[in-house]
Structure 1
Amino acid sequence: MASPYGNHQILVASNRGPVSYDVREDGELQAKRGGGGLVSGLSAIGPDRGALWVCSALGDGDREAVARGVGEDGVRMLDIDAEVHADAYNGIANSVLWFVHHMLYQTPLEPVFDKEFRRQWASYEEYNRAFARALADEAAEGAVAVVQDYHLTLVPGMLRQLRPDLRIGHFSHTPWAPVDYFRLLPDDIAEQVLRGMLGADRLGFLTQRWASAFTACAQELVGGLGDTRVGVHGLGADADFLRRRSHEPDVAARMVTLREQIGEGRKAIVRVDRTELSKNIVRGMLAYRQLLEDQPSWREQVVHVAFAYPSRQDLAVYRDYTAEVQRVADEINSAYGTPGWTPVLLHVDDDFARSLAAYRLADVALVNPIRDGMNLVAKEVPVVSDEGCVLVLSREAGAYEELGEDAIVVNPYDVVGTAGALHEALVMGAGERAERTKRLAAAATALPPAQWFLEQLRELEG
């Protein structure tokens, strides 16, 4: 493959890296490697480019690896003070910036930007500064640095000051808040975030909607984009990997178990999510309950297969949300279940093979986030589906821009409307379902992960 960026060194910066470590009982370190678009992209550029991934040590195993000098080629793990990291990651990135961009605040009571917030913001600055310094130290002359996500919004500006010779990009994997909501942030903090981002040569977003929202914020709060370019790269599903992985023996075994749990002849409404507040799992269950109430003929004929994998359980609001998901599922099963039929099949333990099994047998996929940067589940299900699957999709998912035409689109707050959409999906004929699935799969795989990453590099060099 010809290189799109000449001989420049490539650096990636993200909170989570491509590898993590656990300390085994015998004291040895065990490495666990991750996947995803960035891993695919970096592997696609070849081994001769001096690629380096700068990431944070996230747990005791990672910190021990740094202390022992253990590491992977091409990875530099930063042992940032644990309290600083907690303030930056949980206090600011996940409890402030995430909430702003997903518009999740209950504004009569929150946010409250007090002295504690300012203390945590100082940690966020320190955390970003550690990344900027590491990138500046490691980068060769004229290297390309691609910074990832809302955890590291200040890095481009800091790095620009340290190394003006570098080509700097930043990619946002979340939505971007509209101007009025972004202005919930204190004025100086909002400006600092924007100017930090605008230190980049180029900013990437998952959809035009999010790119336009950022541009509007920059125009309103700091007078425009300056010399920074903005682009859109809609990350797609990795079709080759998904199709291969979904036909391995462990997935086949889980399909047998799921079919037994669902029951012979019943249809399956499937959702696979982390229990993040934005995913709207509770309203999805309430819509399913409304379906059973409005359309009694579906009782004992359909099962809601809900995989809700725990996320950010160190934050109380996420623990409470996870508990509410369980409570609503139990309530539905208690109200409607019979000796031979469990209406909601809820699993909370993460199992990728089981998720793929559910993708393959789903009749309907429910993807109804309140707000989502993209939502790859919406793209993965059509690729893996054995016999075609109807996609019920929130208009607030980034994937809506690419998939909305062949999905049944819902307002994620409208439980009655979503119940109606589920009924429409369940009664759709096999021919139309198969045709829609084929078109959805084509759109979902238009920009696979490696190409998504290389396209950003190409544009950054342009």
Structure 2
Amino acid sequence: MLLATDLDGTFLAGDPEDRLSLYQTIAAHPEIRLAYVTGRSLEAVLPLLADPTLPQPDFIISDVGASFTHGDTLQPIQPLQSQVDALWPGESQVASAIEGFALERQDVPQMRRCSYFCSPAQAADPALQDAAQALGCDLLYSAERYLDFLPQGVNKGSSLQALANWLGIDNDQVLTAGDTLNDLSMLSGTFKGVCVGESEAGLLQATEAYSRTLHASRPGCGGILQAFVHFGFLGEHGIAAERRLAAKPGQAQMVMVYHRLPYEEHRVGGALQRRRPTSPNGIIPTLLSFFGDGRPGSWVAWAVHEDGDEAFDTHTTVDAERYPRLTAARVKLSKAEVDIFYKRFSKEAFWPTLHTFWERATFNEDDWQVFLKVNRAFAERTALEAAEGAIVWLHDYNLWMVPGYLRELRPDLRIAFFHHTYFPSADVFNVLPWRRQIIGSLLQCDYIGFHIPRQVENFVDVARGVTPLQTVSRQNCAPRFITYGCAVGLERMTTAVDTGSRVVKLGAHPVGLDIDRVRNALALEQTQQQMTRLRKELSGIKLILSVERLDYTKGILEKLQAFERLLADNPELLGKVTLVSICVPAASEMTIYDELQAQIEQAVGRINGRFARIGWTPVQFFFRSFPFDQVVAWYAMADVMWITPLRDGLNLVAKEFVATQGLLQGHGVLALSEFAGAAAELKGALLTNPHDTADLASTCYLALNMPKAEAQARLRELFDIVSYNDIRRWGDEFLAGVTEHEVAPLVLAS
């Protein structure tokens, strides 16, 4: 069968349960072909195609019947479109013919039609009818205010008949649905049809005598469901047999959804074993600390499982001593799925685009399908974990599509998403082939958090290019954030938008640090011993420290080039300063970084070969991960912490350095890229442009020679920010944003 339905007031309207029931029925029956038949233009239909909760149409008849489009490719349906094109006189011809009628053009997209606001008296003017006839156009008047000039003989009904003929579908297998007079042509008895509840009075009156047109009592989708039963389209059991049960609620009031488990799994002699995360600055310890006070919850993440492995355990404890009420809910994936979903696709398509290196991105449709499959698996596991009305806290771009799937499975949940990675401007993000699906999924959230206001506004800008949004509320960024003092600063940010179906709240929440984790590391005997050794080894040498993962976004090569320039321009530094670079390798399967690693090693060799002396090496490069306590010892000894990413969502390393130095009442200087998200928060840092070698070198020189009193004052300001806005405050403020129901009305600045 073919379901041909109007949109506004019909397919997009009705009780939420009726909408869910109809949409599920269509999804469960691939033999039901769906056609959107709408007065909207195709351009105005596109936002609906980004909504993952809506069934996607096989065909789109738009512009009140004047445009035919394939739902999957969005290309014209030929020869149907060409036949209409031949009848259309052109927009300029219509405009010229009605200049004397004082009609106001509707400011909506229009193709092969011209739409105006028009009073009943104007619509009844015989001269207007004559003008339309002279143009070879028909006039369609609806809702006592909308007037359309259409190609002669073209309307929703005639175009639907042409589509049915082209498809070879009998008219008895077509169900039409509408609610206003511009739907009359497809509800006049040619097809089985339904005027949904709350339809326009004129439509009900005009169709009263048609036995094949049902006047439903329920509005929107509810009326279409009544028509399915009335006309027997789903057999003797009717629509009741098609309702799919939502996922049964679980027990967790808080579900943390992250792509990785909160511990590492590895095999020893074929047996699966666990260990704590070894990353020196990963987000996992930060998220784990949120459950450190016994807060209950589930942590949903992938676990690799192959055929032939031992029985798969969906649920495991995380750490009975540290996190007694946290359970890991494992999503079973094969190694091949993980390699494609995370190590290849996410890192080769999304990661470079998000960090504005779109020229490095590789887009593969087959990989996208794997990405969707994995996200669906995460959503299904989350739906089973979450209690009724629970908060689901999703993390980062690897799980972009989970909100869309989850909203369908569990409409009751409060879905929150935190975007840890940088979110770029629209001209960058829009290179993604799947941008509409991604944004459509994210807009199913109740709350979306980013690190800084600039990233919030970038998201809003991207979303506005996908679907109409109304700004509900905004707020000033100061004093929490720097406004004009860095490349990622901003004066005002949006805090809520209305998508038409829900209000999505937005917030800027720079991830905080677990200060106790740093304090505990400093208290360890091995940390103190390491600090003593480093103090002795570095006697008389100023230490510039750099800690980052191997990645082209981190600006490692640019930093090395700047250090080379620093030494060349300031020979008095030779033998008196050393750059220590701790570079954490990428996973062995991620070969995209092999070339970068070779370039870094060549640069280190060149600098050391050019400047080294007996007993002094300019660059000490460690290409391995260090235990956190050893990294803290390096933080403690650093005179300058040189963090220079070309683009970064935040950068927790900067905060770890500040916390270490602050706890020791030190005077180390933080030299920070102004393109790191942390630059908008960490007042007191020396900001530098990592794209400018001269600025990098001069800022580092300034940091090395900063008077102790100034360095101490800057560090006190930094430590105050980091210690106050810690991990607990980050989590509490984020959750407060999720649970706060009232949204203040928009007040525009004067």
TM-score normalized by structure 2?
0.57
Aligned equivalent of 1:344: 619
Cα–Cα, structure 1 residues 78 and 69, in superposed 2: closer, same or farther, change >3 Å?
A: closer
Moved over 4 A (4+): 63-66
Identify the range of structure 1 (76-85 vs 276-285) with the bigger mean alpha-carbon deviation.
Answer: 76-85
Q: CA deviation at 1:222?
A: 2.1
In structure 2, the partner of 1:371 is 647
Which residue of 291, 301, 308 maps to 1:42? Answer: 291
Deviations 1:157-204 (A, max 9, x none): 110011101111011001101000011112xx1000101111111101
Report the CA distance shift for 1:123/1:419 in structure 2 as closer, same or farther (over 3 A): same
Q: Is contact 1:66–1:77 with CA below 8 Å preserved after alignment?
A: no
- Cα deviations across residues 228-278 of structure 1 (Å, max 9, x unaligned)? 11111111222222122123122223223434543x211011111111221
**1:21 corresponds to which residue?**
265
1:162 aligns with 2:414: no
Which of 463, 468, 471 aligns to 1:218? It is 463
Corresponding residue SS for 1:43? coil
**Retained in 2: the 8 A contact 1:156–1:199?**
yes
Cα deviation, residue 37, structure 1: 2.2
- Alpha carbons of structure 1 residues 162 and 441: separation in structure 2 relative to 1, 3 Å: same
8 A Cα contact 1:38 1:450, kept in partner: no
Q: Which residue of 1 aligns with 2:425?
A: 178
Deviation of 1:68 (Å): 5.6
- The answer to whether the aligner puts 1:254 opposite 2:563 as a matched pair is no
> In the alignment, which residue of structure 2 is the partner of 1:11?
255
SS state of the match for residue 445, structure 1? helix
Shift of 1:69: 6.3
CA contact (8 A) 1:8 1:142 kept: no
After TM superposition, the structure 1 = structure 2 runs for residues 21-420 of structure 1, keeping only pairs within 5 Å, are 21-25=265-269, 28-34=271-277, 35-44=284-293, 46-47=295-296, 51-58=297-304, 67=312, 71-72=316-317, 74-105=327-358, 107=359, 110-113=360-363, 117-186=364-433, 189-224=434-469, 225=497, 226=499, 227-262=503-538, 264-351=539-626, 352-385=628-661, 386=664, 387-403=666-682, 405-420=683-698
Distance 1:287 1:21, change over 3 A: same
- More helix by proportion, 1 or 2? 1
Counterpart contact for 1:308–1:346, Cα < 8 Å: yes
Distance 2:614 2:311 in 1: 54
- Aligned AA (1:388): H
CA contact (8 A) 1:211 1:232 kept: yes
Which residue identity does 1:55 align to in structure 2? Answer: A
Residue 133 of structure 1 aligns to which amino acid in structure 2?
E
Deviation per residue, 1:40-98 (Å, 9 max, x gap): 11334624xxx1111001588xx957626672261111112332222211232211111
- Report Cα offsets for 1:104-127 as digits up to 9, x if no partner: 23x3xx5454xxx00000000001
Count of residue pairs brought into register by the alignment: 441
Deviation at 1:221, TM superposition (A): 2.2
More off after superposition, 176-185 vs 74-83:
74-83
Q: CA 1:178–1:359 in 2, change beyond 3 Å: closer, same or farther?
A: same
Change (3 A) 1:64 1:350: farther
Task: Give me the CA root mean square deviation.
Answer: 2.1
Asked whether the 8 Å contact 1:389–1:433 carries over to 2, the reply is yes
**3-state secondary structure, aligned to 2:265:** strand
Measure the CA separation in 1 of the matches of 2:655 and 2:361: 33
Q: Do the aligned partners of residues 420 and 457 (structure 1) sit closer, same or farther apart at CA in structure 2, a change above 3 Å counting?
A: same
Q: 1:143 to 1:46 in 2, by over 3 A?
A: same
* Structure 2: distance between partners of 1:454 and 1:120: 36
Secondary structure of the residue aligned to 2:394 is strand
The AA in structure 2 aligned to 1:33 is R
Q: Which residue of 2 aligns with 1:4?
A: none
d(CA) in 2 for partners of 1:40, 1:269: 30
Deviates more, 1:296-305 or 1:435-444: 435-444
Q: Which amino acid aligns with 1:273?
A: E
2:705 paired with 1:427: yes
The structure with the largest strand share of the pair is 2
Look at both structures and tell me which one has the larger radius of gyration over its CA atoms. 2
Q: Any stretches of 5+ residues in structure 1 without a counterpart?
A: 1-6
The residue type equivalent to 2:461 in the other structure is: A
Residues of 2 paired with 1:69 and 1:173: CA distance?
Answer: 26
CA distance in 2, matches of 1:232, 1:64: 43
Contact 2:557/2:603 (8 A) holds in 1: yes
What's the counterpart of residue 129 of structure 2? none
Quickly say closer, same or farther: Cα 1:272–1:112, change in 2 above 3 A. closer
When residues 101 and 222 of structure 1 are mapped into structure 2, their CA distance, relative to the original with a 3 A threshold, is same
SS of the counterpart of 2:316? Answer: coil
Residue 22 of structure 1: how far off its partner (Å) = 2.4
| Corresponding residue for residue 6 of structure 2 | none
For structure 2, the residue ranges without an aligned partner over 5 or more in a row are 1-250, 278-283, 318-325, 470-496, 741-750
**1:453 aligns with one of 721, 731, 734:** 731
- The question of whether the paired residues in 2 share the 8 Å contact of 1:41 and 1:454 is answered with no
Distance in 1, Cα, partners of 2:293 & 2:508: 20
Matched, 1:438 2:716: yes
Instruction: Flag the 1:416–1:211 CA change in 2: closer, same or farther, 3 A.
Output: same
Could you tell me how far apart the structure 1 residues matched to 2:524 and 2:448 are? 38
- The 8 Å contact of residues 41 and 452 in structure 1, kept in 2 or not, is answered as no
Deviations 1:330-365 (CA, angstroms, capped at 9, x unpaired): 111111001110001111121122211110011111
280-289 or 293-302, which moves further after superposition? 280-289
SS of 2:387's partner is coil
SS at match of 1:246: helix
Partners of 1:17 and 1:54 within 8 A in 2? yes
**Percent identity between the aligned chains?**
30
Aligned twin of 2:140 = none
Q: Which amino acid aligns with 1:96?
A: A
Contact 1:85/1:123, CA 8 A, preserved across alignment? no
